[in-house]
């Protein structure tokens, strides 16, 4: 999801209010905002947790850290060149 759609998701009720006879009072608009905020932040938390789990799996399988040789310079160890 990223953070780009987050403001649009939260402000959709302000820009395009719901035109329904059942959703005209202020409490319902606040309820819709709360529902959108809950869904948006739940998606952010889900994406963070899933990315964290995948990073742990990738670290265990492949390793995410560079070795001591590569720490001196990835260009030198991989290509024999200085950047």
Give the residue extent of every domain in the chain: 5-79
51 pLDDT more than 90: yes
pLDDT of residue 28: 67
Query: CB neighbours (10 Å) of residue 8?
Result: 11
**13 pLDDT exceeds 70?**
no
What local confidence, expressed as pLDDT, does residue 75 receive? Answer: 67
Angle (CA) 1-31-26 rounded to 5° is 130
Q: How far apart are CA 73 and CA 67, in angstroms?
A: 10
pTM metric for this prediction: 0.61
Would you say residue 38 has pLDDT above 70? yes
Write the burial class of residue 55 (CB in 10 Å: 0-12 exposed, 13-18 middle, 19+ buried): exposed
């Amino acid at each position: 999801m990223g953070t780009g759609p987050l403001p649009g998701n939260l402000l959709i009720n302000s820009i395009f209010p719901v035109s329904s006879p059942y959703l005209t009072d202020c409490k319902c608009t606040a309820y819709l905002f709360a529902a959108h905020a809950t869904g948006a932040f739940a998606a952010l938390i889900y994406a963070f947790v899933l990315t964290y789990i995948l990073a742990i799996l990738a670290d265990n399988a492949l390793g995410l850290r560079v070795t001591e040789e590569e720490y001196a310079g990835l260009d030198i160890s991989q290509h024999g060149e200085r950047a």
